Amino acid sequence: MSETRDALTDYRRLLNALESRARRMGSRDAESAAQETLKRSLENAISQPAVEYYFSDELPPDAVPPAWPLDQLMAWLHGILHFVVLEEHNRSGNRREFSGWARGADARNRLDPPDPAPDQLDALIQRELQQIVIDCLPALDADYRRVLKMRASGLKYGDIAERLGVSENTVATWVSRGIRTLALSVRRRTQRHKAAR
């Protein structure tokens, strides 16, 4: 209980930001959705150090930078929040659907399916983000696709430059523009998602 209270105090600004996003996603209880998102992020062994490093009010002087870069953490937080809001919608839909015939313990069992384990949640979020990115790929020009594919398969900028006969700087620019173009489409898509709710 006191741990929860500490988290609420330490991450007040993050909670406010998540709450306003949850509201834009159509949550009817945005405050709870934000708290649930923070709770799940702090329970996960990989996201926890990143949340603490980037968002705690006071950073200890000996804090070690986390394995996750900031953008990866933000995508994760968005994914969790989206999932939590979906759960909320599903629960309210189920309540309407089942309230006529399910009562007592039976109703509780039906209305509150167990939360997925952190690994399953991770997989769900990955799958959703992955689908959004795949849907946005047609927006990319062939050149950008080619360099992004090479980069994604682990080639270094120098290797890509050699294969394509251009300078490393050119490769860096193409990669950067490719990611920016794709990110813009993803952003439009996630904003449409929020607006549609």
Partner 1 sequence: MNIDQFATRELSPADARKMAQQALDEPDLFDALVARGAVETSLKIPAVRAALSTPAPRKQWRLHFARWRPRGSS
Residues that bind partner 1 (CB under 8 A): 13-14, 16-17, 20-21, 53-55, 59, 65-66, 69-78, 126, 129-130, 132-134, 137-138, 140-142, 145, 148-149, 151-153, 172, 175-176, 179-180, 182-184, 186-187, 190-191
- To partner 1, the closest distance from the beta carbon of 156 in angstroms equals 13
Q: Between 110 and 193, whose beta carbon lies closer to partner 1? A: 193
- To partner 1, the closest distance from the beta carbon of 118 in angstroms equals 16
State the burial class of residue 82 (Cβ atoms within 10 Å of its Cβ: 0-12, 13-18, 19+).
buried
- To partner 1, the closest distance from the beta carbon of 93 in angstroms equals 26
How far is it, in rounded angstroms, from Cα 144 to Cα 147?
5
Q: Between 90 and 191, whose beta carbon lies closer to partner 1? A: 191
Q: Which long-range contacts (CB under 8 A, 24 or more apart) does 116-121 make?
A: 118/40, 118/43, 118/44, 118/45, 121/40, 121/44, 121/80, 121/83
- To partner 1, the closest distance from the beta carbon of 29 in angstroms equals 20
Q: Between 39 and 177, whose beta carbon lies closer to partner 1? A: 177
Q: Between 48 and 183, whose beta carbon lies closer to partner 1? A: 183
Of 116, 118, 114, 115, nearest to 44 by C-alpha is 118
Is residue 66 classed as helix, strand or coil in its secondary structure?
coil
Say how many C-beta atoms besides its own lie within 10 A of residue 133's C-beta: 14
Q: Between 92 and 120, whose beta carbon lies closer to partner 1? A: 120
